[in-house]
Amino acid sequence: MANVLDFSNDTEFVLAEQAEQTRQARQWENLDEKTATEELRALNTRVTQLAYDIRNMVQDNKYEETDENCQSVYNYELSAAGWVCSVYNYNISRMPGGWDTMSKPSFYSSLSAEEAKGYNTAVKYLKDLGYLSSASLDLFHLLMKLPLLEGFRIQKLKSNFDEAGFDEELYRRINNETKAVSNQINRNWESIERIAQSAEQFYKNNAGGMSREALNRGYRQARMKDYLADLASSPIYDSLDPRSDGTFTVKAAMLAKLSVIDKYTAKVSQTDDVKSRFEETIKKCKEISAGSLASCFKFCADPDCKNVAAAFETLLNEVQKFAEMSVDTYTAFRDPGSDAPYCFMKKLEAFGSIQGNYTFNPNTFTYDPWSGGTSFKEMYDQAAKAISQHCRDFVYNHGHTNLL
């Protein structure tokens, strides 16, 4: 087995060789203006594309693609390993003449034509690259700490609410219908008996004129109609499907809306409190804009370097707008007013007064949406069952019970 070839270190060797080739290519002896122009324009394109991706990420629902692009840009373009920073860092200490083309080092006269061309190229760009590298590293640290996923989640949830059409009217409807359920199933039996006018008239007209069984059946059917007629004036009626046997179910369309609201509010309740992180992002954006980026616009002379600075500004603006929108959206959900969709993260006013009865048990509902989301679907399912029980109680257990 001693003759078996070992390739275990080949990958490390290749990577080291590539790194050395990259380092040499970025030294002034090997620079040329064509390469510098291509690198700067490629950086401009990559940074501008990332700004576009961040601006449209929520609308296009492309978090994964944007996150991948963001990591690629800050790791390979904006970091110390990127072309701008590495060219500047490789050469600034190796060029005694510095940025002054009139003050060339003593060895300049001994350079070949190709070497002198590389030196002149480095001198032309080095001052601009110094300013760009400072801004580049600032953007690197900014993007590395950007809570991209958290911002995407909270903004996407807000967008989902809006697209579903869940507005203030629906929130008020749920609140009013919750009150109506409580009122319906907790009515005083003496007062509710007054609604059985048709049934009472049927009893008076037919008592003694038909069999007890037929009288009972017709009387109960009349009480059922009286109950349905009365319930039709209640706000909850629009959300229920009544059946002939006195049972009720929640309408499918309403149940679907409630299920989605419960899902969205649960997800909002699970979002991390990243307000301070977004506020820090906004603060850093303003500092970079007034600091290293302002220096780029003030001192960079080369048109391609100026264009890179403009791309940096575009990216910085999009990051700041993203952070501002994220913190505004999170704050609006966390401290909701009456505006949709934020109102769905607010406790229903009805919860302060509703009473349970039958299968309707308020103690099983989530009062605070921030404790796991709303329980609207469960609440309406319970409400339909409770009204069904209340209806059957009214029909069969009250009125002229001597017929049974």
**Which string of DSSP letters, residue by residue, matches 10-39?**
HHHHHHHHHHHHHHHHTSGGG--HHHHHHH
User: Which tokens go with 386?
Assistant: 């409770």
Contact 139, 315 (CB under 8 A): yes
My answer on whether 280 and 249 are in the same domain is no
Residue where a domain terminates, one of 334, 356, 387: 334
Contact 350, 365 (CB under 8 A): no
What proportion of the chain, given as a percentage, has pLDDT over 70? Answer: 90
Contact 210, 265 (CB under 8 A): no
My answer on whether 284 and 350 are in the same domain is no
| pLDDT number for residue 26 | 65
Please tell me the distance from the alpha carbon of residue 246 to that of residue 224, in angstroms, as a whole number: 7
| pLDDT number for residue 4 | 45
Please tell me the distance from the alpha carbon of residue 36 to that of residue 132, in angstroms, as a whole number: 14
Q: Is residue 113 part of a domain?
A: yes
Please tell me the distance from the alpha carbon of residue 366 to that of residue 219, in angstroms, as a whole number: 41
| pLDDT < 70 positions in the chain | 1-26, 28, 96-102, 109, 403-404
Contact 83, 26 (CB under 8 A): yes
b/e per residue 350-370 (b: at least 16 CB within 10 A): bbeebebbbbbebeebbeebb
Q: Is residue 2 part of a domain?
A: no
Nearest-CA neighbor of 139 among 90, 190, 78, 59?
A: 78
Sequence-separated contacts (24+) of 138-142 with Cβ below 8 Å = 138/284, 138/288, 138/291, 138/292, 138/293, 139/74, 139/78, 139/288, 139/312, 139/315, 139/316, 140/74, 140/78, 140/79, 141/284, 142/281, 142/284, 142/285, 142/288, 142/316, 142/319
My answer on whether 129 and 143 are in the same domain is yes
| pLDDT number for residue 94 | 75
My answer on whether 284 and 348 are in the same domain is no
| pLDDT number for residue 404 | 60
User: Which tokens go with 60?
Assistant: 């296009």
Please tell me the distance from the alpha carbon of residue 71 to that of residue 55, in angstroms, as a whole number: 16
Question: 249: which strand partners?
Answer: 241
Contact 374, 261 (CB under 8 A): yes
Nearest-CA neighbor of 262 among 378, 178, 89, 139?
A: 378
My answer on whether 119 and 40 are in the same domain is yes
Q: Is residue 4 part of a domain?
A: no
Contact 358, 385 (CB under 8 A): yes
Nearest-CA neighbor of 374 among 362, 361, 365?
A: 365
User: Count of domains in the chain?
Assistant: 2
| pLDDT number for residue 303 | 95
Question: 248: which strand partners?
Answer: 242
By 3-state DSSP, what share of the chain in percent is helix, strand and coil, each rounded to 5?
Answer: 75, 0, 25
Q: Residue 159 carries which side chain, given as an amino acid letter?
A: S
My answer on whether 262 and 377 are in the same domain is yes
Nearest-CA neighbor of 147 among 274, 58, 331?
A: 274
Please tell me the distance from the alpha carbon of residue 387 to that of residue 185, in angstroms, as a whole number: 6
My answer on whether 152 and 61 are in the same domain is yes
Please tell me the distance from the alpha carbon of residue 330 to that of residue 342, in angstroms, as a whole number: 9
Q: Is residue 303 part of a domain?
A: yes
Domain encompassing residue 399: 164-268+338-403
Residue where a domain terminates, one of 291, 317, 334: 334
Element (H, E) at 250: strand 248-250
My answer on whether 112 and 249 are in the same domain is no
- Whose structure tokens read 């994220």? 326
My answer on whether 264 and 177 are in the same domain is yes
My answer on whether 254 and 178 are in the same domain is yes
Q: Is residue 117 part of a domain?
A: yes
Residue 222 makes CB contacts below 8 A (sequence gap 6+) with 196, 198, 199, 201, 202, 203
My answer on whether 44 and 149 are in the same domain is yes
| pLDDT number for residue 367 | 85
My answer on whether 130 and 262 are in the same domain is no
Q: Is residue 123 part of a domain?
A: yes
Q: Is residue 87 part of a domain?
A: yes
Element (H, E) at 249: strand 248-250
| pLDDT number for residue 116 | 77
| pLDDT number for residue 1 | 41
| pLDDT number for residue 208 | 80
Please tell me the distance from the alpha carbon of residue 125 to that of residue 303, in angstroms, as a whole number: 11
Q: Is residue 1 part of a domain?
A: no
Nearest-CA neighbor of 22 among 83, 72, 71?
A: 83
| pLDDT number for residue 191 | 86
